[in-house]
Structure 1
Amino acid sequence: MTTTGTVNGSNEALRPHAEDAFAEELKALAAADDRPRPTRWNLSPWAVATYLLGGALPDGTVITPKYVGPRRIIEVAVTTLATDRALLLLGVPGTAKTWVSEHLAAAVSGDSTLLVQGTAGTPEEAIRYGWNYAQLLAHGPSRDALVPSPVMRAMSEGRIARVEELTRIPADVQDSFITILSEKTLPIPELGEETQAVRGFNVIATANDRDRGVNDLSSALRRRFNTVVLPLPATVEEEVDIVSRRVDQIGRSLELPEVPAGADEIRRVVTVFRELRDGVTGDGRTKVKSPSGTLSTAEAISVVTNGLALAAHFGDGVLRPGDVASGILGAVVRDPAADKVVWQEYLETVVRERDGWKDFYRACRETTAGR
């Protein structure tokens, strides 16, 4: 695979693929990995799990965690990919489904780019194959005129194909996967041929469980997947750790201040999101109304990253309440009528009375009044 966006040998991509961003870790794991590897896997299942969950290798190399959560979830996901069952990562928005999918593909196949992005307009060709119409008109159906989909390429190369937002794909297009996943073959009737999957091929799909009813999977297709549910972070500390790590990674690529400069505000943002999401304060004493949005970990990361950018470019580089206030308001108030009432009530009944939160309360009040 050729990676574009390099200048003088250094990668200038705004967001490198996982296999590029963590190439040194993957190389170190491969060198230290002496466990059995499934055919065409770059790493053993144990090493893939270590890459996702983090750890230290015998040579002292530190593998950074890519996923913070129950170890068993990752072990089940990795084990599924080593069988003939496809993997469906299910969860509410912001539970790192795409992130986990990308890193699993990078660790197993060394290539996370064989991707189908699911939308309401995803055609069957995106899953099966298309045609180069100039070649088709000039010479008729042939292998040269055929344009393989990412799934078809993964089948022929023994790699992992990724499908994002599976339930957003129209139901009749989804069913294109049934033969692929059950028979491990993709018929090409125009040529009287087929592409058979070689060992190493599998599919990782993601789906938002709030989209149930949009394009529900048929029972026949659902049986082809082993479903793994990715939960929201269990504790404040776990979510703060996730947000801090991701903001630090994003911040380095954008040349923003280091995360420790804003540790207090990160905890504050996470606390606000969790309390509004759960409908109760952290101490369990006060019930609060929840807004219409999901207030996911991914949104918390976005709020903090935007706040750090404000602090870097228009402040002193230290993340302060005023830097995150507008981002929180934008995340919470999706419905201008109902959500604004929920947010104002939370400010007055919870934030206003909380020790050490006066500056945050004042900044949020000023931002809310200005909208």
Structure 2
Amino acid sequence: MSVTADNTSAAPGGTHSAPADAAGTGEPLRPHAEDAFADELTALAAHDDRPRPPRWKLSPWAVATYLLGGTLPDGTVITPKYVGPRRIVEVAVTTLATDRALLLLGVPGTAKTWVSEHLAAAVSGDSTLLVQGTAGTPEEAIRYGWNYAQLLANGPSRTALVPSPVMRAMAEGMTARVEELTRIPADVQDTLITILSEKTLPIPELGQEVQAVRGFNLIATANDRDRGVNELSSALRRRFNTVVLPLPASVEAEVDIVARRVDQIGRSLDLPAAPDGIDEIRRVVTVFRELRDGITADGRTKVKSPSGTLSTAEAISVVTGGLALAAHFGDGVLRPGDVAAGILGAVVRDPAADRVVWQEYLEAVVREREGWTDFYRACRDVSG
């Protein structure tokens, strides 16, 4: 599972800069990974003496270290971006060094987008070559479009052509990203088949093609809860090496992930430090895990599961919202009353069925748990 936050200065090997606000003076709310962690990427590059694939900014070993964390010989600490099995990261990085594309698959909230962004930042120094998949994503988003003013004035030409992020990545030997691949209509998905198999993008209007240069690859993400929406064709699936990102294996691992990520988000929003509310973070994570798994942590009591996913990402959102309440309407310390409403909103998605599930869990589990009296009262108060 994941951990971290993410354009102000140019990243190692990158050329883009962060947009300013309307007055031209503001910092971005969420910098791209290559900007937020530019110091770490620079330090890794300086100590990286291992072979690098063509156009990679770092070696596969250094990319894995960037994601998993570590300490360099000079004492520089590389913060973990992903908390989970090392082999998963190693397989993902190795896939990008081959001619097969990478598909990150998992339930919502397992850090697919987060891992995708950090992989692209470490490999290419630029995580912004992104296609966001939706039900309305057109073929042009993956192939290319046209500047219609130039097209009408001068006819089809390379100057009238508007390259997609994937086309740019092919031409520059970089890593492109496609988010939520299975949300994209099947006929648009299949645009990728020729790109991934032949490493070529035809431009029939000009009688030309763009050939991918060495260093090009593609990372796609897909939510396995979207099965049946727009399944990948067998031809397209064969072009990917699929890596499944699991939910955190233990309570402590998930608490660590939530605390780290909330701390990063909180610093950007000037919120209190997450460790001040570690007990509440642990309670939120415990509640989410028990409802998700359908059984209490001690294995003694079965509980019903609500309709939502109750992912780690949602736990991060609940705790961040709680910290904001504590900062602006409390004493800055995260308390049960700060997270109770957020938990209710995350659990009760279906007002009828989920509310029954929540009330049963609240009375049968939370009420009886030693040391959880304040938490129970806060949750009961917001639950009506």
Give yes or no for TM over 0.5.
Answer: yes
* CA deviation map 1:116-155 (0-9, x unaligned): 0000000000000000000000000000000000000000
What corresponds to 2:83 in structure 1?
A: 68
The one of 172, 177, 191 aligned to 1:157: 172
The one of 39, 50, 62 aligned to 1:24: 39
Q: Distance in 1 between matches of 2:26 and 2:46?
A: 23
What corresponds to 1:185 in structure 2?
A: 200
Letter in 2 for 1:193: Q
What corresponds to 1:46 in structure 2?
A: 61
Write the mapping of 1:231-310 to structure 2, written as runs, cut at 5 A.
Answer: 231-310=246-325
The one of 337, 343, 346 aligned to 2:358: 343
Q: Distance in 1 between matches of 2:226 and 2:44?
A: 37
Seen in structure 2, the aligned counterparts of structure 1 residues 232 and 10 have a Cα distance that, compared at 3 Å, is: farther
Give SS of 1:203's match: strand
* CA deviation map 1:76-125 (0-9, x unaligned): 00000000000000000000000000000000000000000000000000
Q: Distance in 1 between matches of 2:369 and 2:37?
A: 41
What corresponds to 1:97 in structure 2?
A: 112
Write the mapping of 1:59-138 to structure 2, written as runs, cut at 5 A.
Answer: 59-138=74-153
1:322 aligns with 2:343: no
Letter in 2 for 1:41: W
Listed as ranges, the gaps of 5+ residues in structure 1 are none
1:18 Cα deviation from its structure 2 partner: 0.2
Letter in 1 for 2:266: G
Q: Distance in 2 between matches of 1:25 and 1:8?
A: 30
Letter in 2 for 1:67: Y
Give the fraction of aligned pairs with identical amino acids, expressed as a percent: 87
The one of 113, 138, 146 aligned to 2:161: 146
* CA deviation map 1:46-75 (0-9, x unaligned): 000000000000010000000000000000
Q: Distance in 2 between matches of 1:238 and 1:7?
A: 40
What corresponds to 2:19 in structure 1?
A: 4
Q: Distance in 2 between matches of 1:2 and 1:307?
A: 32
* CA deviation map 1:335-365 (0-9, x unaligned): 0000000000000000000001000000000
The one of 180, 198, 203 aligned to 2:213: 198
The one of 152, 169, 183 aligned to 1:168: 183
TM, length-normalised to structure 1: 0.98
* CA deviation map 1:193-249 (0-9, x unaligned): 000000010000000001010000000000000000000000000000000000000
Give SS of 2:210's match: strand
1:7 Cα deviation from its structure 2 partner: 11
Letter in 2 for 1:80: T
Seen in structure 2, the aligned counterparts of structure 1 residues 122 and 144 have a Cα distance that, compared at 3 Å, is: same
User: Post-superposition, which runs of at least 4 consecutive aligned residues in structure 1 deviate over 3 A?
Assistant: 6-11
